[in-house]
Amino acid sequence: MRWDEFQHACPEIASLASARFEKDELVLLGTIRRDGSPRISPCEVDFAEGHLFLGMMWKSKKALDLLRDPRIVVHSVTCDKDGTDGDVKLYGRAIAVDGPDLRQAYRDAIGARTDWAPDEPEFHLFSIDVEAAGYAVFGEGSHALAWDPGNGLRRLPLH
């Protein structure tokens, strides 16, 4: 489901994810390489028009991975080994965005955030279709949340 639909279906994890992504301005992407092995890559994220957008350099390895196999995991960046910052994961598919209106909305969003925007058509743009999500935080108040459309939101014990 598109980002705005995910926000409606699971506001608990969506609000944690959007706050974290907006603060860090960076996520880690898990993609599948041509040989079937995993690849992890950093990527900036932007929100616009109800989408969670990932923009990538033209013909970058991660973009080529997604054009071949759209399965993806989007993971918040983590610098705290104790996990007290919380850890957001979104699982789903990356949908290539070709429409000029959505591409311009992305360019406007990244321009507002960074005072720069990529030139057309020299970048790949994907919208994330969220299929499942998770959140875990450790330390005082540690807990985990998991969500998917079939089971809804669940609070999970951390051991």
Tens of pLDDT, residue by residue over 104-147, are 999 999 999 999 999 999 999 999 999 999 999 998 889 999 99
Helices (H) and strands (E) in the chain, counts: 4, 9
pLDDT of residue 99: 97
Angle at 117 between CA 115 and CA 118, to 5 degrees: 155
Structural domain boundaries in the chain: 3-156
Three-state DSSP class for 83?
coil
Q: What is the mean pLDDT of each run of 10 residues along the chain (159 residues)?
A: 98 98 97 98 98 98 98 95 93 98 98 97 97 95 96 91
pLDDT of residue 141: 85
Three-state DSSP class for 37?
coil
Q: 3-156, what's its fold?
A: Pnp Oxidase; Chain A (2.30.110)
The identity of residue 11, as a single letter, is P
- Give the separation between CA 56 and CA 24, rounded to whole angstroms: 17
The residues, ordered by sequence, that sit 6+ positions from 4 with a Cβ below 8 Å of its Cβ are: 50, 51
Percent of the chain with pLDDT over 70: 99
pTM: 0.96
